Amino acid sequence: MRILVAEDLYLLRDGMVRLIEAYGHQVVATASTGPETLEALRTLRPDVSVIDVRMPPTQTDEGLRAALAARAETPGLPILILSQHVQQLYARELLADGSGGIGYLLKESVFDADQFVGALERVAAGGTAMDPAVIARLLNGTRRLGDLTEREHSVLALMAEGLSNQAISRRLFLSESAVSKYTTSLFGKLGIVDDNDTNRRVRAVLAYLNES
The CATH code of the domain that includes 126 is 3.40.50.2300
pLDDT tens digits along 136-178? 777 776 666 778 899 988 898 888 888 888 989 999 999 999 9
Looking at per-residue pLDDT, the higher value among 94 and 26 belongs to 26
The verdict on 151 and 198 lying in the same domain is: yes
pLDDT of residue 207: 64
- Alpha-carbon 112 to chain mean position: 15
Query: Do 76 and 177 lie in a common domain?
Result: no
| Together in a domain, 43 and 10 | yes
| DSSP assignments along 160-210, one per residue | HHT--HHHHHHHHT--HHHHHHHHHHHHHHHTPPP-S-HHHHHHHHHHHHH
CATH number of residue 164's parent domain: 1.10.10.10
Last residue of a domain, one of 130, 153, 175: 130
Specify the higher pLDDT residue, 21 or 107: 21
Is 96's pLDDT higher than 60? yes
Average pLDDT, the chain: 86
| pLDDT band, very low/low/confident/very high, at 132 (cuts 50, 70, 90) | confident
Q: Is the pLDDT of residue 212 over 60?
A: no
Task: Assess whether 14 and 115 both reside in one domain.
Answer: yes
Q: Are residues 107 and 10 part of one domain?
A: yes
* Chosen domain end from 130, 154, 178: 130
The total domain count for the chain is 2
Q: Does 117 share its domain with 151?
A: no
Lowest mean pLDDT across 18-22, 36-40, 197-201: 197-201
Angstrom distance (rounded) from CA 12 to CA 17: 9
* Residue 95 and residue 179 in one domain: no
Q: Within the chain, how many helices (H) and strands (E) appear? A: 10, 6
**pLDDT tens string 177-204:** 999 999 888 888 877 776 666 666 776 6
Would you say residue 136 lies in a domain? no
Could you tell me the residue range of the domain that residue 146 belongs to? 142-211
Q: Percent of the chain at pLDDT above 90?
A: 47
Q: With bands split at pLDDT 50, 70 and 90, how would you rate the model's confidence at 127?
A: confident
